[in-house]
Amino acid sequence: MSSALPVIILVEPQLAENVGMAARAMMNCGLSELRLVNPRENHVGDKAVAASSNAEEILYQARLYASTEEAVADLNFTLATTARHRDQTKSVLSAEYAANKMFSLGETGSRCGVLFGPERTGLTNHDICLADGIINIPLNPKHCSLNLSQAVLLIGYEIFKTRITQAEETLVTNHSVPAERGKVLKFCEYIESLMADCGNFKSDERRDKLIINLRNIFMRNALTEQELNTLYGVINHLNRR
Amino acid sequence: MSSALPVIILVEPQLAENVGMAARAMMNCGLSELRLVNPRENHVGDKAVAASSNAEEILYQARLYASTEEAVADLNFTLATTARHRDQTKSVLSAEYAANKMFSLGETGSRCGVLFGPERTGLTNHDICLADGIINIPLNPKHCSLNLSQAVLLIGYEIFKTRITQAEETLVTNHSVPAERGKVLKFCEYIESLMADCGNFKSDERRDKLIINLRNIFMRNALTEQELNTLYGVINHLNRR
């Protein structure tokens, strides 16, 4: 059971479509527990289900509450999403930090939740004062209005990132294998020999420069064996002509 | 001119609405340059403009291209977004790392771009081989299909984050100021004295425990001066009854 994952709480969502899209965003981010406080429209109707795009399971399992107070009652830590800083004394957490904090809390058995307000008005001050803090999603301050499902997506994305380790950059080579440096060098030497035959090296200095340039081009390229064969094919074809 | 910011390139987007929502996501993330390769619908028509939600400026300034090749021609570095790893030898970058890399390249004058494919099919292999690498958006592998504007939003969000410094957690106190420790201690001592009057401390050990608990509660709370006054008001009211 994924009880350590944060719960998404939509307070008085207006449109069923937005609830469905929020469920889709949750599914994208591996979240599963949705709570709804007084949704205006049917959250398991056709509109919501269609918008959820195969995440209807989250809609069917969503729990309904009559108030925000009841929706957060069994949680240990909740954060409110709001674009404006209200006139409240409140911790404001970056989305990334909030996700990490909820991850740590979840690891030690605390249940966390994130509150999202109605589309038009956002969370009320009475909702916000129930939360441990406010999540600030960093966005262009001149144009920071997000729709509900986009806000859920960005928070969910940060939560998902806390749970994975991801390489910064990986070369995917599929069926081929990275060529050994000796094979790349041999290829460079092959071109160098062809160039020498053509009488292209007018001076030792120019020759040396070309060799270094060519080797730099191909050495930094992380060529695979298959790609080396492709290059040999091209060079041989040109050489035969 | 914000020429250092990455360009968003939508290849053959199908729906005007999605182009509009992508423009909105760009505006959310402070991006401004949109390029469109053969959009199927009118990108400055009513549907696109309405969906852009006040980001129509980006739509009007968008440039049209007849091919992906032309759309990337003046750029120095491009990345392709695709959920599947195709049968190509290609660098795969995490979204965060890709954003940081484009930031660094932008700082040194390189122009970067991110390619997004058509809604239904995604980028073709011929589009992808034009890119320096692939961006991998980390999402639930069992349900990772994003709509176009959500993909633009997540990449834009990572790009926006590279350009800001954001505190992990800040206590926003608005009109009030954080209380000095001495004032919080004085408040604790005040409660302690009231408790002593009530004959509540049955043993020194219990008294000591209560003092430590109370001080821990209020010391870790980052109380403001205003909040301290509120608490004094409550205590005094209860004490008078």
Judge whether A103 lies within some domain.
Answer: yes
| Residue A204 scores a pLDDT above 90 | no
| Residue B185 scores a pLDDT above 90 | yes
Q: Which tokens go with B195?
A: 């408790």
| Residue A144 scores a pLDDT above 80 | no
Judge whether A171 lies within some domain.
Answer: no
| CA angle centred on B182, ends B181 and B186, rounded to 5° | 120
B166·A28 Cβ contact <8 A: no
Percent of chain B with pLDDT over 90: 64
Q: Where are the alpha helices (DSSP H) in chain B?
A: 16-28, 46-52, 56-61, 68-72, 95-107, 125-128, 148-162, 181-197, 204-219, 225-240
| Three-state DSSP class for residue A120 | coil
Q: Does A234 touch chain B (CB under 8 A)?
A: no
How far B103 CA sits from the closest chain A CA (Å)? 15
| One domain for residues A135 and A197 | no
| One domain for residues B146 and B195 | no
| One domain for residues A75 and A31 | yes
Judge whether A24 lies within some domain.
Answer: yes
| One domain for residues B18 and B107 | yes
Reduced DSSP (H G I as helix, E B as strand, rest coil) percent helix, strand, coil of chain A, to 5: 45, 15, 40
| One domain for residues A128 and A210 | no
| One domain for residues B216 and B138 | no
Q: Which tokens go with B44?
A: 């400055």
| One domain for residues A193 and A120 | no
Judge whether A79 lies within some domain.
Answer: yes
**In the predicted model, what is the mean pLDDT of residues B44-62?**
96
| One domain for residues A68 and A119 | yes
| One domain for residues B65 and B35 | yes
Q: Is the ipTM of this complex over 0.90?
A: no
Residue B134 C-beta-side C-alpha neighbours within 13 Å: 27
Q: Considering B162, B195, B216, which residue would you say is the last residue of a domain?
A: B162
Of A3-17, A192-206, B6-20, B93-107, least confident by mean pLDDT is A192-206
Task: For residue B116, list its beta bridge partners.
Answer: B10
Residue B184 C-beta-side C-alpha neighbours within 13 Å: 18
| One domain for residues A20 and A84 | yes
Q: Which tokens go with A158?
A: 């940060």
What CATH number is given to the structural domain containing B44? 3.40.1280.10
Q: Does B167 touch chain A (CB under 8 A)?
A: yes
How far A141 CA sits from the closest chain B CA (Å)? 8
What global pTM score does this model have? 0.88
Judge whether B174 lies within some domain.
Answer: no
Q: Which domain holds residue B110?
A: 7-162
Judge whether B226 lies within some domain.
Answer: yes
What is the total count of domains within chain A? Answer: 2
Interchain CB contacts (distance < 8 Å): A and B: 140
Q: Does A129 touch chain B (CB under 8 A)?
A: no
Judge whether B134 lies within some domain.
Answer: yes
Instruction: Provide CB contacts within 8 A for B140, sequence distance 6+.
Output: A27, A28, A29, A30, A160
Position B175 confidence tier, pLDDT thresholds 50, 70, 90: confident
Instruction: Provide CB contacts within 8 A for A132, sequence distance 6+.
Output: A77, A78, A79, A91
Q: Residue B15 has what pLDDT?
A: 96
Q: 20-59 in A: which are within 8 Å (CB) of B?
A: 25, 27-30, 53-55
The answer to whether B62 and B9 are in contact (CB under 8 A) is: no
pLDDT tens-digit readout, B3-40:
589 999 999 999 999 999 999 999 999 999 999 999 99
Position A2 confidence tier, pLDDT thresholds 50, 70, 90: very low
How far A12 CA sits from the closest chain B CA (Å)? 22
Judge whether A176 lies within some domain.
Answer: no
Q: Measured between alpha carbons, how far is A5 from A33 in angstroms, rounded to an integer?
A: 8
Set of chain A residues whose Cβ sits within 8 Å of the Cβ of B89: 171-174, 176, 224, 226-227
Q: Residue B1 has what pLDDT?
A: 39
Q: Does B173 touch chain A (CB under 8 A)?
A: yes
A92·B226 Cβ contact <8 A: no
Q: What is the bridge-based pairing of β-strands B169-172 and B7-11? A: unpaired
The residue among B208 and A7 whose pLDDT is bigger is: A7
Set of chain A residues whose Cβ sits within 8 Å of the Cβ of B226: 89
